[in-house]
Chain A
Amino acid sequence: MTERFMLSRRELLKTSAAGAALGLASASFPISRAFAAAVTVGFIYVGPKDDYGYNQAHAEGAATLKAIEGISVVEEENVPETVDVQKSMESMINLDGASLIFPTSFGYFDPHMLAMCEKFPDMQFRHCGGMWNKDKHAMNAGSYFGYIGMGQYLSGVAAGHATKTKKIGFVAAKPIPQVLLNINSFLLGARSVDPAITCQVIFTGEWSLAVKEAEATNALVDQGADVITCHVDSPKVVVETAAGRGAFLCGYHANQSPLAPEKYLTGAEWNWAKVYKMFVDDLVAGKPLPNFTRGGLADGFVKMSPLGPAVSEAARAQFDGTLAEMMKGGFSVIKGPLKNNKGDVVATEGQTFVEAAIELESMDYLVEGVVGSTA
């Protein structure tokens, strides 16, 4: 796949010698393509697509599209969150005839995807994350995301039963709202088992830093945490390090149980196949694509890894019970009375935030019981 793009780029360079006329020609050319029967969909990943994590989850979704008649998929891996991703998008549109592009990484959105939306107003762009806002952004852009915090709450339930030290650990990349919601949900899930449980969080500062993630995991275990989960791009290192130290773990993004079958409790996974199929069906049917797409466990956007052998009967029962309640809809992870870990009230008595509550997408606090700081 990569070779193909390298060729394409070279051709792009060659043809660009023709001058400014190219810009006009290439901008108008794919419009006719968009209405052709065959649809080309582009996927851009920030890391390798078999990383046991974030990118693998997206690539598994993209792979299901390849099986659909009349759909061709172009992919590019290891694209940094720089102007490089703009070049990748241009190349996918001009040379591969893509009419719908999914730049999957958080940092692709602003300014890169937004610039492309302006440059190619007839193409469709959908970004994974929560940043699209109809007042600020173009209508050919959009964002899709899953309420995976619910999954982290369920992981927390399993963790709460498994921990003996009443201390659980979280290796996090950056303090952005989605990560903070996951940390808070994980702890609140564990506290639904035992309110004395605390969660220690360590931020590594980057999405993928193998050595620092291993150090963070070791530091958490050294401080007595005996169930570890994470929110980094590739949980492989965290999972293997924690299992090596004898701690239990909950996975994230994809199913990591093959890496530590005995110690793996469960994990919150994405089910992007469902989301991508939805977008492509709309595109083929000629319907306008939604700009704001969200869904949770009940919508099939998010799924849980099968429970591991270390999960007790009691944990299994509470896990299944909570899951059934979530599937009914209206379940709130963040509900009052709740304080943040600085002592300020974030939800008053009786106040609840369901998974779809838009306030959760701008979360900037860690709840009481989380040991850590957002800055």
Chain B
Amino acid sequence: MDATGIGLWGVPLAMLGGAIRVSTPFIFVSLGEAITERSGRINLGLEGTLVFGAMTAYAVAVMTGSPWLGLLAAAAAGLCFGLFHGWICKFRGVNDIAIGIALMLFGSGLAFFFGKPFIQPSAPDLPAIPFGGWSDIPQVQAALNVNVLFLIGAALAVFLWWAFRNTRAGLILRVVGDSSDAARAMGLNPNTVRLIATGIGGALAGIGGAYLSLYYPGSWTEGISSGQGLMAVALVIFARWNPLGCFAAALLFGGAGALGPALQSVGVTQGYYLFYAAPYILTLVIMIATSSPSRSLAGAPGELSITK
């Protein structure tokens, strides 16, 4: 390879860079969904929330010139979507999965509707912290340009992992998720807890959307999410409702997603469709390897409609 390219080293570097760049929306959506599912509900609408958050963040950043206000607006919009889901689902006979699918379509549609005038303008980006300053290779510097949201996401994963076990709020959430009856006996109102949990989950998904439109890829288009919100929901089950697992799974997905383009860039050009399928094949393999016919999913909240 010539002096300017970095040859085969580009593949691991691209996977590292890709893991950091691509994983952040997965981290936020899956952590949000982990909170919601731990409370005993599934919110499939996070794909719509993600897209709506991306649009809101971009629109507000364009109008005010501040990406941070955009981020805040996206979180607020996500909170509204989450609270709406949580509120509807408290009524008897309402299926949380069906409402989630409805909200997914509603969120995307609404985002396309309001987002029309914002496809053209450019918005300011969220800042990144250059951790690659120690290296004089520009590729390494680029890969280690880490957005603050990624760091917040990592910290949040650790915090949630600790909080689920060691705080009163974590205990309440788990009780409500495992048994409504037990929660009521303790004097807790499961609907209120789930409302709050779904609201927080929505807000986190909104932040994930803000990352998409304000940092990477960093523009608002209608196809910006291409299903990442749905995949993140699946990641939660893959990660067995463990926040640290969510973080690791998101990194894995991000890195595996970078594999296809990186291999083509070093000249491995045959069969790229297969490399693009890598994240999904990986998921299937791990799911099959860890499944068992004799026991239910470890760590699954007892009240969750898919495991009941």
Q: Which residues of A contact B (CB under 8 A)?
A: 47-48, 50-52, 78, 165-167, 200-205, 208-216, 218-224, 226, 234, 236-237, 240-241, 244-245, 259, 371-373, 375
Contact = CB atoms under 8 A, between A and B. Distances in A.
Interface in B68-101: none
Contact of A259 (B122, B265, B272): B122
Contact of A167 (B5, B266, B273): B5
Contacts of A240: 122, 217-219
A214 B217 contact: yes
A234 B120 CA distance: 11
B224 interface: yes
B265 A212 contact: no
A222 B265 contact: yes
B267 interface: yes
A51 to B, nearest CB: 6
Given A47-B222, A210-B219, A222-B142, A202 B261 contact: yes
B216 A220 contact: no
A208 B223 contact: yes
19 contacts: A166-B2, A203-B272, A205-B272, A209-B226, A210-B221, A211-B226, A214-B216, A215-B21, A219-B14, A221-B139, A221-B142, A222-B142, A222-B265, A223-B5, A223-B7, A234-B221, A240-B219, A241-B217, A372-B264
B42 to A, nearest CB: 25
B18 interface: yes
B112 A213 contact: no
A52 B2 contact: no
A200 B265 contact: yes
Given A51-B119, A241-B217, A211 B269 contact: no
Nearest to B271: A375
A234 to B, nearest CB: 6
B166 interface: no
Contact of A47 (B13, B142, B223, B260): B223
B269 A213 contact: no
Nearest to B122: A259
Contact of A371 (B119, B139, B212, B267): B267
A215 B22 contact: yes
Given A167-B4, A214-B216, A205 B223 contact: no
Contacts of A224: 1-2, 4-6
Among A215, A237, A240, A371, find the residue whose CB has the most chain B CB atoms closer than 10 A: A215
Given A219-B14, A372-B264, A50 B116 contact: yes
A215 B119 contact: no
A24 B195 CA distance: 54
B142 A236 contact: no
Nearest to B263: A219
Interface in B225-241: 226, 228
A168 to B, nearest CB: 12
Given A47-B223, A210-B219, A214-B216, A223 B265 contact: yes
B175 to A, nearest CB: 38
Contact of B10 (A212, A223, A244, A371): A223
B270 interface: yes
Contacts of B267: 371
